[in-house]
Structure 1
């Protein structure tokens, strides 16, 4: 398994996340792939020159919900720059684009500016990307985390995601090893191995993520339990910090998250509680508590889709990256905090996941209301009633992200307690 996050990502994320939050007005960065992944201002200033140096006539547009202050969006932005630099194409990035008509406007502006392909990074962007795809049939539109490409049947609209549940499972293994160490050292008992988790919304994507993390931890410490609280926002540093603090005060001895700020890691560092973050390393800011982080590496998909446009080939309606495609990665372990033997446990688990020897959602490893499942109809073809339409359990496991790229695991399994909900 490849475990890497570029130094630029770590440094930029820590600097941005600890700084002021971005504004609500849309900001635009225009650059070409030959520009170094440096400051936005420098890239914009070199626009005229680098466009001339581009190796292709293809121009790529990117739409981000927030900006570099959000670990989630920073992960996309760095991947966008890396892919375009490698392929030698010009690009334009629009940040702080809300999940509303502003997204359509941004997509239309990118299409009018000559972009052959446009990517958007947030779930709520989807309907507006579809609107743009219908309006500009000559432009390809790709949307991360969306659910409707396989039912819309538009030749120029596509969804993409990755098997991040495998990355979260591995991060859970690292958490489990830490719990195991804490038990062995007498710091907690087996029945005190309670994890806290700060989530954004009670969506399938978040449920899939915290469940896979929990199952990874339980593969090491079977007695582990988990409490989950939700903020109702993808990025709210205050709410995330308060959520983590509440969990710590309620007896959670390790914290993880599916939210995009430094709120939870900061709360953990202040309280001296081990933390597993998301979308990049927080070791520089939290050296005494940070263990590891999982993230989706979007560069392989960006390269894949952009190459398809350059070559005139078809882009899949749904694309799911995996450990094998280097789309699911872990940061390096913080060896000052991680338990001994963690790297070996991660390497072994990753090897088994890649070979199919183990599956994250093995139905023999969890129960729902005390029962093991052998059948479940998931809402894959999204509708307003969220009715199940696709059988997703076969061969002894829940087949996540196989029938569409975005997660649809929404089961409430035993051992996880939701303290609240947020839709």
Structure 2
């Protein structure tokens, strides 16, 4: 029921979700694959912290791999020992999460982290039972209104790095058009009736986090090459290589020359590379990890989270007894980034990226600047966000945790991830079309 609750909440677009998928619970101690301690690390800066990590996937799945690496890097920086981290891999969004948390408490963990939205309702139950243990639900959305001091949420401002990856894509589109490689005459399917270049996006679900991310990506593309239109296809799965590949193939068949993604496998980049090798004009923007090994000439870059920044702050805060209840940081703190630029990126891309990243860091550029988009042809001046957590499982919304309704737009832009860590941008802006049905 609780997993259904999370799904229904998302479908209603009340709250954003984030996670990335796998199944079947397993457990492995840090003695097997624990945190790597850096050579010559300083004395342990968090000696009283014992971390339990509840992970939806494992190192074979990009999103979870990024969390694993972030935890290990943070632990190494702090000189933490391997036996200070206990790992729980492939824990599904079910009561298995509660069981995993119970076991971690029993093993002496005083900081327990989960990396998937669907874990959240089980984590809060455990937080109620164990007030002396801090529980952090990554990508969750109601910690601040839960009434529990030992229950926290955390995420990054990854929409910023998605915008930057869109700039990389926009530079490539501009190069293709200006060089004459991509024209309505030579590639008619890649232009719509208004002469706009088609790009595509493979999304896991139509949740606010995905909407926020693909909108940021699209606005990044438009900032360099305005005449684009984007089609979004959903897989209804965080991790499905076949569906993600099929979605990329379908988008390219519809004329898309750039394929972005908010899904966790290498399926979309691999399919894009295969079609590029066959003579198609198509390039990939990935997520979580560098995709160059999968798509050596098609991959332009990937948007990614630098989880070590989050985890280092979290471990230090746990040592000091004060973990932030709603943590979210971006470029200004080095918490998000893009991966290495691919060999076929347009000339001048690195310089453009540096310019955009600097503007994001100093605040002179806001991703969701309301002067840069419209909804149904009109400017958007107000976006009230209801922060209440609702249960939709009975068909009628029931407020589980009452939150305030706050205005997200001020000073000329939509303030994403400032009212809470998890994204809540769910506006459908002009220029983007969502397919009604997920890819089969």
> CA 1:32/1:319 → structure 2, altered by over 3 Å: closer, same or farther?
farther
User: Counterpart in 2 of 1:258?
Assistant: 262
Alignment match, 1:404: 420
- Is the 2:332–2:362 contact (alpha carbons within 8 Å) kept by the matching residues of 1? no
* 2:213 counterpart of 1:209: yes
Cα pair distance change 1:364/1:421, threshold 3 Å: farther
Change (3 A) 1:23 1:407: closer
Residue in structure 2 matched with residue 333 of structure 1 by the alignment: 341
Aligned residues: 386
Alignment CA distance shift 1:56-1:418 (3 Å):
same
Asked if 1:324 is matched to 2:340, the reply is no
Contact 2:375 2:429 in 1 (8 A): yes
What secondary structure does 1:329 align onto? Answer: strand
> Is the CA contact (8 Å cut-off) linking 1:234 and 1:259 kept in structure 2?
yes
Residues 386, 278 of structure 1: CA spacing in aligned structure 2 closer, same or farther, 3 A cutoff? farther
Alpha-carbon RMSD across the aligned residues, in angstroms, is 2.2
The residue number in structure 1 matching 2:77 is 86
Residue correspondence of structure 1 range 168-207 to structure 2 within 5 A: 168-189=162-183, 191-207=195-211
Distance 1:34-1:253 versus aligned 2 partners, 3 A rule: closer
Q: Show CA shifts across 1:106-149 (max 9, x none).
A: 11111110111011100111000101111111111111100010
Match of 2:435 in 1: 419
In structure 2, which of residues 226, 238, 243 is the aligned counterpart of residue 239 of structure 1?
243
State the shift of 1:238 in Å.
0.7
Q: What is the deviation of 1:27?
A: 3.2
The one-character-per-residue Cα deviations of 1:185-236 (angstroms, maximum 9, x if unpaired) are 2222473521110000110100000000000000011111100000001001
Change (3 A) 1:267 1:192: farther
After superposition, give the CA deviation of every residue in 1:27-61 in whole Å (9 maximum; x if it has no partner): 323249985389xxxxxxxxxxxxxx997242111
Unmatched runs of 5 consecutive residues or more in structure 1 = 1-20, 39-52
Once the two structures are TM-superposed, the CA of residue 379 in structure 1 deviates from its matched residue by 3.2
- SS of the equivalent of 1:276 reads strand
Taking a change above 3 Å as real, the CA distance of residues 386 and 197 of structure 1, as seen in their structure-2 partners, is farther
Name the CA distance, whole Å, in 1 between partners of 2:398 and 2:356.
33
Q: Which runs of 5+ in 2 are unaligned?
A: 1-20, 39-43, 184-190, 277-281, 392-396
Q: CA deviation at 1:86?
A: 2.2
Q: What is the rounded CA distance, in whole Å, between the counterparts of 1:156 and 1:31 in structure 2?
A: 27
TM-score normalised by structure 2 residue count: 0.84
Give the superposition deviation at 1:167: 0.5
Distance 1:37 1:261 in 2: 28
CA distance in 2, matches of 1:235, 1:146: 19
Partner of 1:390: 406
Residue 379 of structure 1, aligned match among 375, 386, 389:
386
Q: Which residue of 1 aligns with 2:10?
A: none
Q: Is the 8 A contact 1:379 1:386 kept in 2?
A: no
Name the CA distance, whole Å, in 2 between partners of 1:287 and 1:297.
Answer: 23
C-alpha contact (below 8 Å) 2:36/2:75 kept by paired residues: no
1:139 aligns with 2:133: yes
- Is residue 63–residue 288 contact of structure 2 (8 Å, CA) maintained in 1? yes
Alignment of 1:15-414 (within 5 A): 24-31=24-31, 36=36, 56-87=47-78, 88-89=80-81, 90-189=84-183, 191-272=195-276, 273-312=282-321, 314-334=322-342, 336-384=343-391, 385=397, 389-414=405-430
Q: 1:55 to 1:173 in 2, by over 3 A?
A: closer
1:62 to partner: Cα distance: 0.5
* Residues 60/35 of structure 1: CA separation in 2 closer, same or farther (3 Å cut): closer
Inter-partner Cα distance in structure 2 for 1:34 and 1:316: 25
User: 1:119·1:144 contact (CA, 8 Å) conserved in 2?
Assistant: yes
The alpha carbon displacement at 1:25 in A equals 3.5
1:11 is aligned to none
Q: Distance in 1 between matches of 2:307 and 2:117?
A: 15
Q: Residues 376 and 62 (structure 1 numbering): CA distance in 2 closer, same or farther, change over 3 Å?
A: same
- Contact conserved, 1:126 with 1:143, CA < 8 A, in 2? yes
Matched residues in 2 for 1:218 and 1:249: separation? 22
Contact kept, 8 Å, 2:140 with 2:154, in 1: the verdict is yes
Give the conservation status (yes or no) of the 8 Å contact 1:202–1:421.
Answer: no
Q: Secondary structure at the match of 1:155?
A: coil
